[in-house]
Amino acid sequence: MKREKKAKAKLFSPKYLIYDFVKATAALPGLLIFRPKWIYESEKAKERIRGGALAVSNHYGFFDPLYLMIAIWYRRHRFVCGKEFFESRARFWFKSFLCIPIDRANFNISSLRAITDAMKSGYLVSMFPEGHVNGERTGDLEDFKPGLVLMALQAKAPVIPVYIKPRKRFYERIRFAVGEPIDVTSFYGERPTFAQIGEIARAVREKEEYLKSLV
Amino acid sequence: MNRTEIIEKLREILAAAGDGTVPALSEDSNLASDLGLSSVSMLYMVIAIEEEFGIRFDDVGASDFVLLSDVVDYIEGKLR
């Protein structure tokens, strides 16, 4: 993937204050309660993710954003979430956590720009490409929305696949499998066709299925 | 640029992003049912239009355009 220079998000900013405070105070209890176990696809997957990237994960419960934050703990995540959350009582938290609203019923160009601009500015954007909470707690994956490919293509950013193993009991430790970064342009170049975008989304889902077999 | 030229350019964009065949287009073509465009395909088309025509779309969503004439009207308005 052609990337002249990796943009880096600011290390410190007043807008990170609440995010960082919550993260710092929740870190120790989180480690003790969840006792996370990281499994990596390869040595390359262990390397720190630098610059703009798109982290994708399965979505089986409302704590998944928290788990994904633990899985890639060293980065600030900017989650893509439904715009309805920004109209709810909890909107303060969604704004404080620098989430990016998206209209799921009518995916619009301004949401796409906000997401790609965030990645181009060096942020790690995180999303759940199944599009909603997968109520089947079996860990089976639904189809991935091809929008993820469009986001990564436009931002020229790698996709980081993460699989979170569903916990059956609250005292079970949380297990993640982290895959190698996927360069979406490696499949069909920078201008894939409509059908190829769908194929790339299926390939990312297949990678997620592979990660599922590792945990 | 007149409407016929805009449609011709859209035909090229859709042919390049589609399977290579040039779709038969008319102003009444429905983007979803006639051309088979999904919401993501629609946004992909918008990005290609922005590059091709040198315009910038405002906050439009995938379901804001129903017919090809809606897209042509929008582009025409932006080029004016």
More confident residue, B9 or B63: B9
- Let me know: does A175 contact A215? Beta carbons within 8 Å: yes
Q: Which amino acid is at A155?
A: A
The reported pLDDT for the residue numbered B46 is 93
Mean pLDDT throughout B37-59?
92
The reported pLDDT for the residue numbered A5 is 64
Mean pLDDT throughout B51-63?
89
Residue B22 has pLDDT above 80, yes or no: no
User: Coil, helix or strand for B56?
Assistant: coil
Q: Do B38 and A194 touch (CB under 8 A)?
A: yes
Phi, psi angle pair for B14, to nearest 5°: -70, -35
User: pLDDT grade, residue B36 (50/70/90)?
Assistant: confident
More confident residue, B54 or A132: B54
Q: Closest Cα to residue A10, out of A68, A60, A54, A75?
A: A75
Query: Would you tell me which CATH number, out of the four given (3.40.50.970, 1.10.1200.10, 2.130.10.10, 3.30.420.40), belongs to the domain B3-79?
Result: 1.10.1200.10
A107: nearest CB among B17, B18, B62: B62
Mark out the alpha helices in chain B (DSSP H runs): 3-17, 39-53, 68-79
Could you state, in order of their start, the residue ranges of all structural domains in chain B? 3-79
For tokens 């429905």, name the residue: B30
Mark out the alpha helices in A102-177 (DSSP H runs): 109-120, 147-155
Q: Do B43 and A194 touch (CB under 8 A)?
A: no
Q: Say whether the ipTM exceeds 0.85.
A: yes
Q: In angstroms, rounded to a whole number, what is the distance separating the alpha carbons of residues A161 and A43?
A: 15
CB pairs below 8 Å between A and B: how many?
Answer: 59
Mean pLDDT in order along chain A per 10 residues (215 residues) = 65 87 91 94 95 95 91 95 90 93 88 95 95 72 93 96 90 94 95 94 96 94
Task: Find, in chain A, the residue whose alpha carbon is nearest to that of B48.
Answer: A191
Disruptive mutation site among B37, B43, B51 for chain A (greatest number of A CBs within 10 Å):
B43
Q: In angstroms, rounded to a whole number, what is the distance separating the alpha carbons of residues A40 and A211?
A: 9
User: Which residues, listed in sequence order, are joined to residue A159 by a DSSP beta bridge?
Assistant: A54, A182
CA B72, B75, B78, B80 dihedral sign is negative
Residues 6+ away with beta carbon under 8 Å from A174? A34, A35, A36, A37, A67, A70, A164, A165, A167
Mark out the alpha helices in chain A (DSSP H runs): 17-34, 43-46, 64-71, 91-96, 109-120, 147-155, 185-188, 194-214
Residue B12 has pLDDT above 80, yes or no: yes
| Chain B residues 41-60 within an 8 A CB cutoff of chain A | 41, 43-44, 46-47, 57-60
Domains of chain A, CATH where assigned: 50-214 (3.40.1010.10)
